[in-house]
């Protein structure tokens, strides 16, 4: 609704603004990406700045330990100040990160504890190694917090990988092997004494007779005089050093090849790589002279220790240069992001300016066409049909103006002919009004006659309705009587069927009672047999008792058994007498039951005969009811037909009456409309005269 009220030019501006939304979205996207890249580069640069104090601490830590143990000349205070300053700088740099819960070690406290450790402390070298592990852990934390570990492009990946992972790990291995050599050099006199004592003991046993005791400077002891475990650990580190050299030099060489076409020279880094590689080659040669048969110039501990120190120095220089080049790359990425942001902003602004100019130009052209249309409509409002539009464009507005000119020409010619037709309409309307008045008078007379006929038919219709209603009631009563008589016949049939079932069931009961009486007789016969058996048993028992009394002891026991049998026979005889008494009672009851059942059977036969008589009566009632219902229904149908015919006649007359009345109303309305049209024709003629159609 709101959009439909706007002007075309405003709609065009809104449409153009909608079209510019993708440009705005693109601008926001580019701005966000560029600012994120700039912020990431700044975070990475701050991370590199934070890493440099850690590198300084790791560089000075081995040299401080050498001076502290007396293996090199120097002032420990100088290295201590450098390490303390680097730790203070590191703590200041770490304040920009949120490190709560990360387990950040307190390097200042650990360093103070490390400085106070005794030279002869067995855990001295492990403490230095633990301190180095803390520094490497700090490097990892700084890399995570600054985003350096989240590599986004290849030109920084080849620098970040060695600077945050490869070089620290290689430096840790150098410190580990260096600590092993420092310990042996610090304890060189003890090693020489142990070596000479072991040699003397072996020669006393007839072994190692060609060997000579060591009498030279303890600091120049060969590597084979050290403990075999230490020597083996140093020899095993060769492959690790070689792997570190290949990995670090390979990554940095790839970094140089990737970035050489973007920023300045890498001569210094290439020189550092060569120095690091050459130092490793010297170390490899020393590994070959470390232990073996026929070695004329064995590698000494001091010689190998100096090579480790040189390699640490070369690795530190390579590390420092890697961080410097990485910082340059990061700042170059930030500069490129800023330059791209400015370029994209300029491109978007130019595009926006062109779009605005184009919108303003189209808006001006549309406003000119709309102004011409407004002039035309104002002329039409003043009833001037002699105007026409000047066509200044070939677009949709030009087509619209051309169509308006054609419409005005058609309207002008139409109004010219309309004036001529107005008088003819006025005359025709007057004739129509006169004819309508005559028709209205005739229609009123016909309407009065039809109303009288309708009144008479309405009385006849009411009488027919009353007759039909009464005949319908009589037919309904006849139907109800028929239904009741049918139900009575059905009930009689049901009662007769039930009486038949009762009679059949009574016969079955009498038969069963007689069977029961026969069974009682048979039971009585069985009881008499049992009674006879009991008497014989008593006689046998009595004879057995007499025989037993004339016998020995065993006969006495048999006499007891015979007495028990006689007593049992007496009990059986008593029981049979009781049973016979009960059977006689049952026989008497069954005879009475048979007599009563026969009486009931006679009554049932009498009732069954009465039901047959009722059947004949009900058949006559049902037949008469059906005849009455049929006659009543026929009368009701005839009454309804008469009522329907009267209703149709009445409805037809009412329709005729309504039609006549409607015709009267229509003729009256036509007369009024004709009078109104006559007035309207006069007014129309006056209004048409106001339009100017002559050019």
Q: Report the distance separating Cα 89 and Cα 93, nearest Å.
A: 6
**Tokens representing residue 2 in the block:** 């709101």
The answer, yes or no, to whether residue 375 has pLDDT greater than 60, is yes
DSSP-derived 3-state class of residue 492: helix
The answer, yes or no, to whether residue 38 has pLDDT greater than 90, is no
CB 123 within 8 A of CB 212: no
DSSP-derived 3-state class of residue 384: strand
CB 249 within 8 A of CB 272: no
Instruction: Check residue 309 and give its pLDDT.
Output: 92
Distant-in-sequence, close-in-space partners of 73: CB < 8 Å, separation ≥ 6: 67
What DSSP assignment string belongs to 54-87?
HHHHHHHHHHHHHHHHTSS-S-HHHHHHHHHHHH
Q: Report the distance separating Cα 184 and Cα 694, nearest Å.
A: 128
Q: Angle 97-100-106 (CA atoms, 0-180°, nearest 5)?
A: 85
Nearest to 586 by CA among 517, 522, 509, 506: 517
- Provide mean pLDDT across the span 442-449: 66
Cα dihedral 274, 278, 283, 285 sign: positive
DSSP-derived 3-state class of residue 493: helix
Ordered by start, the domain boundaries in the chain are 3-209+227-354, 396-688
Kindly report, residue by residue over 49-87, the tens digit of the pLDDT: 988 999 999 999 999 988 988 888 888 899 999 999 999
Upper half-sphere CA count for residue 196 (Cβ side, 13 Å): 11
Angle between helix 301-381 and 167-186 (nearest 10): 160
What is the band of 88 on the pLDDT scale with cuts at 50, 70, 90? very high
Helices (H) and strands (E) in the chain, counts: 13, 0
Angle between helix 107-115 and 76-94 (nearest 10): 170
CB 90 within 8 A of CB 53: yes
Topology (CATH) of 396-688: Helix Hairpins (1.10.287)
pTM of the model: 0.52
CB atoms within 10 A of CB 441: 10
Please provide the distance, in angstroms rounded to a whole number, between the alpha carbons at the two ends of the chain. Answer: 42
The answer, yes or no, to whether residue 359 has pLDDT greater than 90, is no
CB 454 within 8 A of CB 657: yes
Distances in Å between the Cα of 566 and the Cα atoms of 407, 537, 546 are 149, 7, 13
What DSSP assignment string belongs to 572-621?
HHHHHHHHHHHHHHHHHHHHHHHHHHHHHHHHHHHHHHHHHHHHHHHHHH
Q: Report the distance separating Cα 392 and Cα 394, nearest Å.
A: 7
Buried b (16+ CB within 10 A) or exposed e, 27-58: beebeeebeebbebbebbbbbbbbbbbbbbbb
Burial class (CB in 10 A: 0-12, 13-18, 19+), 603: exposed
The residue length of the chain stands at 695
Nearest to 475 by CA among 636, 273, 279: 636
Kindly report, residue by residue over 673-692, the tens digit of the pLDDT: 767 777 776 777 666 666 66
Kindly report, residue by residue over 376-413, the tens digit of the pLDDT: 677 666 666 666 666 766 666 677 777 777 777 777 67
**Tokens representing residue 466 in the block:** 């009353």
Per-range mean pLDDT, top range of 14-18, 111-115, 578-582: 111-115
DSSP summary character for residue 390: P
Angle between helix 301-381 and 267-288 (nearest 10): 150
What is the band of 633 on the pLDDT scale with cuts at 50, 70, 90? confident
Q: Report the distance separating Cα 415 and Cα 139, nearest Å.
A: 97
Kindly report, residue by residue over 217-264, the tens digit of the pLDDT: 888 888 888 888 888 999 899 999 999 999 999 988 888 887 655 555
């Amino acid at each position: 609704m709101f959009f439909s009220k706007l002007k075309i030019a405003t709609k065009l501006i809104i449409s153009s603004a909608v079209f510019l939304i993708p440009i705005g979205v693109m601008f926001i996207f580019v701005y966000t990406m560029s600012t994120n890249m700039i912020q990431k580069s700044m975070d990475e640069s701050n991370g590199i700045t934070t890493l440099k104090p850690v590198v300084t601490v790791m560089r000075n830590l081995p040299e401080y330990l050498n001076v502290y143990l007396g293996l090199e000349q120097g002032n420990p205070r100088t290295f201590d100040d450098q390490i303390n300053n680097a730790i203070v700088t590191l703590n200041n740099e770490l304040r920009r990160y949120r490190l709560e819960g990360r387990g950040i070690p307190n390097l200042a406290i650990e360093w103070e504890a490390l400085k106070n450790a005794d030279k002869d402390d067995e855990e001295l070298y492990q403490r230095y190694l633990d301190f180095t592990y803390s520094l490497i852990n700090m490097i990892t934390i700084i890399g995570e917090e600054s985003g350096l570990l989240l590599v986004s492009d290849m030109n920084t990946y080849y620098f970040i990988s060695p600077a945050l992972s490869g070089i620290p790990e290689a430096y840790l291995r150098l410190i580990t092997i260096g600590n092993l050599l420092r310990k042996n050099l610090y304890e060189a006199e003890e090693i020489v004494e142990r070596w000479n004592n072991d040699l003397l003991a072996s020669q006393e046993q007839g072994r190692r007779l060609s060997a000579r005791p060591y009498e030279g400077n303890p600091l120049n002891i060969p590597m084979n005089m050290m403990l075999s475990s230490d020597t083996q650990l140093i020899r095993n580190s060769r492959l690790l050093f070689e792997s570190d050299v290949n990995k670090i030099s390979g990554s940095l060489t790839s970094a140089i090849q990737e970035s050489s076409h973007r920023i300045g020279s890498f001569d210094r880094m290439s020189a550092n790589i060569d120095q690091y590689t050459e130092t490793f080659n010297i170390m490899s040669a020393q590994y070959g002279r470390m232990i073996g048969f026929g070695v004329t110039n064995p590698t000494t501990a001091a010689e190998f220790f100096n090579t480790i120190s040189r390699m640490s120095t070369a690795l530190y220089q390579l590390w420092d240069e890697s961080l410097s080049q990485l910082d340059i790359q990061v700042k170059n990425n930030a500069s490129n992001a800023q330059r791209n942001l400015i370029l994209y902003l300029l491109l978007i602004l130019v595009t926006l300016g062109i779009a605005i100019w184009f919108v303003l130009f189209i808006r001006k052209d549309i406003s000119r066409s709309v102004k011409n249309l407004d002039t035309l409509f104002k002329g039409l409002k003043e009833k001037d049909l002699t105007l026409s539009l000047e066509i200044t464009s070939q677009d949709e507005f030009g087509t619209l103006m051309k169509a308006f000119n054609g419409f005005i020409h058609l309207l002008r010619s139409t109004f010219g002919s309309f004036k001529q037709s107005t008088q003819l309409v006025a005359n025709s309307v007057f004739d129509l009004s006169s004819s309508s008045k005559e028709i209205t008078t005739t229609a009123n007379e016909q309407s009065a006659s039809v109303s009288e006929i309708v009144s008479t038919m309405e009385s006849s219709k009411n009488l027919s309705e009353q007759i039909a209603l009464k005949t319908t009631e009589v037919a309904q009563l006849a139907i109800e009587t028929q239904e009741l008589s049918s139900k009575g016949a059905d009930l009689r049939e049901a009662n007769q069927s039930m009486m038949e079932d009762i009679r059949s069931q009574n016969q079955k009961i009498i038969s069963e009672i007689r069977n029961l009486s026969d069974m009682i007789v048979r039971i009585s016969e069985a009881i008499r047999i049992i009674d006879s058996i009991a008497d014989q048993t008593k006689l046998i028992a009595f004879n057995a008792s007499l025989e037993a009394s004339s016998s020995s002891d065993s006969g006495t026991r048999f006499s007891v058994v015979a007495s028990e049998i006689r007593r049992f026979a007496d009990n059986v005889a008593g029981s049979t007498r009781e049973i016979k008494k009960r059977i006689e009672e049952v026989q008497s009851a069954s005879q009475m039951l048979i007599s009563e059942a026969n009486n009931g059977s006679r009554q049932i036969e009498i009732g069954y005969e009465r039901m047959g008589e009722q059947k004949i009566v009900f058949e006559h009632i049902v037949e008469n009811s059906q005849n009455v219902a049929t006659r009543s229904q026929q009368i009701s149908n005839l009454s309804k037909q008469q009522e329907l015919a009267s209703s149709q006649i009445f409805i037809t007359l009412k329709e005729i009456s309504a039609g006549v009345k409607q015709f009267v109303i229509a003729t009256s309305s036509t007369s009024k409309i004709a009078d109104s049209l006559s007035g309207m024709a006069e007014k129309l003629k006056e209004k048409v005269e106001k339009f100017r159609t002559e050019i």
